Structure 1
Amino acid sequence: MAEGLEALQSLSSNPEVAPAERKVDALGRAYATGKRKNAIARVWIKPGKGVITVNGRDQEVYFARPVLRMMIAQPLEIADRLGQFDVVVSVQGSGLSGQAGAVRHGISKALTYYEPGLRGVLKPHGFLTRDSRVVERKKYGKAKARRSFQFSKR
């Protein structure tokens, strides 16, 4: 038992392996920013009844497609916190699919800020990794990013 205590004390005194702290504001909310394509989602979570509000509207109204609503709920389902947090989201840029991905990323990050122990649950599923794929820019001398103009031999 004593050697276990010494091991814990040596871990806590090690500056490289510091225990994660909760990042919560004065109102008891955790804030995180999620990104996907050109969409940026600002997410606040706080304990509540599971209401998700996106840009002042209910999630069923804003994300009409069930697939997008399922995407948003994934981090809460995997962390087994469905119906325990109220989520307020402000999202802009890109399309609905990119926005849903940004909201999912933001909710995942906010959950880890509120409960640092959930990081080990969410990380293997890839919810904490920002999907860096963005639209490639158009180049001069090309019809689109890579497509050439039609070639005529004669």
Structure 2
Amino acid sequence: MADENNTVSDLADLKDITGEAPVATGTEATFAPVSSAPLREKEVDAHGRAYATGRRKDAVARVWIKPGSGKVTVNGREQEVYFARPSLRLVINQPFQVADREGSYDVVATVKGGGLSGQAGAVKHGISQALAKFEPELRAAVKAAGFLTRDSRVVERKKYGRAKARRSFQFSKR
């Protein structure tokens, strides 16, 4: 049996230590979880919202999501007004499509810096992280789609002795 020092004399004793029951399959023993509790806890503020920060290029988005009718507000304006291009609205709604939660969350976002494309990517990153905090079981689906990874590509800086980041000044033979 397992004692205070957590020593194991039999595979059945592992249940007492890990909370998982061993399942014998051929020559190896694998472990099936006893409880279906998520590995992460739900992170919600006093107002019942999940908060996350999203980043893309030079844009930074602060995003709050809460259960609702699917209304998306960016910098105090509707998403159709702020992101006029349909492709940018499509980018913002991708996390909800992957998680199969379209129209079930209200989003309030404030975005600073960068252009519209970078801001849309920042809001998408923030929504993905907030979804993973509000419903931890959705994290696997959102992560598999690659939405939790911050796209770190930024504009390369201009170097001295160069016209731009890499372009040389025009050569003059005479």
**With structure 2 as the length reference, what TM-score do the two structures score?**
0.80
Matches within 5 A, 1:1-154: 6=15, 9-10=19-20, 19-154=39-174
Runs of 4+ displaced beyond 4 Å: none
1:6 alignment partner AA: K
- Secondary structure (helix, strand or coil) at the match of 2:157 reads coil
CA distance in 2, matches of 1:81, 1:119: 13
Deviation at 1:152, TM superposition (A): 1.7
CA distance in 2, matches of 1:52, 1:77: 14
1:95 alignment partner AA: G
**1:5-64 deviations in Å (ceiling 9; x for gaps):** 93861598xxxxx82011100110000000000000000000000000000000000000
- Secondary structure (helix, strand or coil) at the match of 1:141 reads coil
CA distance in 2, matches of 1:36, 1:93: 10
Q: Structure 1 unaligned runs (5+)? A: 13-17
Instruction: Using CA pairs under 8 Å that are at least 6 residues apart, name the structure with larger relative contact order, 1 or 2.
Output: 1
- Secondary structure (helix, strand or coil) at the match of 1:112 reads helix
CA distance in 1, matches of 2:15, 2:84: 54
Percent of aligned pairs sharing the same letter: 68
1:37 alignment partner AA: K
CA distance in 2, matches of 1:106, 1:42: 7
Question: How many residue pairs are counted as aligned between the two chains?
Answer: 146
1:151 alignment partner AA: F
Higher relative strand content: 2
Deviation at 1:125, TM superposition (A): 1.1
1:127 alignment partner AA: F
Q: RMSD of the alignment, in Å?
A: 1.9
